[in-house]
A and B are shown apart, each in its own frame.
Chain A
Amino acid sequence: AQSVTQPDIHITVSEGASLELRCNYSYGATPYLFWYVQSPGQGLQLLLKYFSGDTLVQGIKGFEAEFKRSQSSFNLRKPSVHWSDAAEYFCAVGSYNQGGKLIFGQGTELSVKP
């Protein structure tokens, strides 16, 4: 079955520290991969996406993610976290043969310590 797993429910990092949020997927077809961010009480905002080509993709707000096909992973990284990055982060996967449907992970809540 197709699935997306975010192993970490909650992560706390200090402001200025580096961040890595993990995402693993199980998908039969060539995946399209996304990371979204959700601030409290808000909808989801797209951070970055991977369709093909360079496996390291850059997104908004200084985030990047790397697609590793051999590990079925698409981890999100940021070199230096800001207090405003505190939010919930969702990984999602889709493919051409699924039309527009995406499968979302359970989310990782990020807290930032001053």
Chain B
Amino acid sequence: DVKVTQSSRYLVKRTGEKVFLECVQDMDHENMFWYRQDPGLGLRLIYFSYDVKMKEKGDIPEGYSVSREKKERFSLILESASTNQTSMYLCASSGRQGSYEQYFGPGTRLTVT
């Protein structure tokens, strides 16, 4: 089975802190994604990556950056956390050929105070 893991289930940070969310997948998938999930808004794509060192902005990239130095790892960075970034963050991965189903990690609930 595909396994996507995220470094933390719950995080509490202060306004202005730099925050790193880590995601690792074990299925050699080319594509990786970061979403944030808020009630009533569904999943919104922050950034995605098609390959190592490649990244593209999603629908809501402002205030975020990403890093993909290795194929299995995709990091989301909040350069200076703000209270409006309090949310659930979900990482996903998918293969490039054929099917496009995404496999999700368990999520990180981030609270910025």
Contact A101 B48 (CB under 8 A): yes
Contact with A along B69-85 (1 / 0, CB 8 A): 00000000000000000
A83 interfacial by beta-carbon distance below 8 Å: no
Please, could you name 29 A-B residue pairs with CB atoms under 8 Å apart, sorted by A? A34-B101, A36-B104, A42-B107, A43-B4, A43-B90, A43-B104, A43-B105, A44-B43, A44-B92, A44-B102, A46-B101, A46-B102, A49-B101, A51-B99, A99-B100, A100-B30, A100-B31, A100-B33, A100-B48, A100-B102, A101-B33, A101-B45, A101-B58, A102-B100, A104-B35, A104-B42, A105-B42, A106-B41, A107-B42
Q: Which residue of B lies closest to A51 (CB)?
A: B99
Residues of chain B lying within 8 A (CB to CB) of residue A41: 106-107, 109
Residues of chain B lying within 8 A (CB to CB) of residue A44: 43, 90, 92, 102, 104
B50 interfacial by beta-carbon distance below 8 Å: yes
> Which residues of A from 1 to 18 have beta carbons under 8 Å from B?
9
Q: Which residue of A lies closest to B58 (CB)?
A: A101
State which size class the interface on A falls in: 20 to 34
Interface centre among B92, B100, B103 (most CB of A within 10 A): B100
Residues of chain A lying within 8 A (CB to CB) of residue B109: 41
Q: Which residue of A lies closest to B9 (CB)?
A: A41
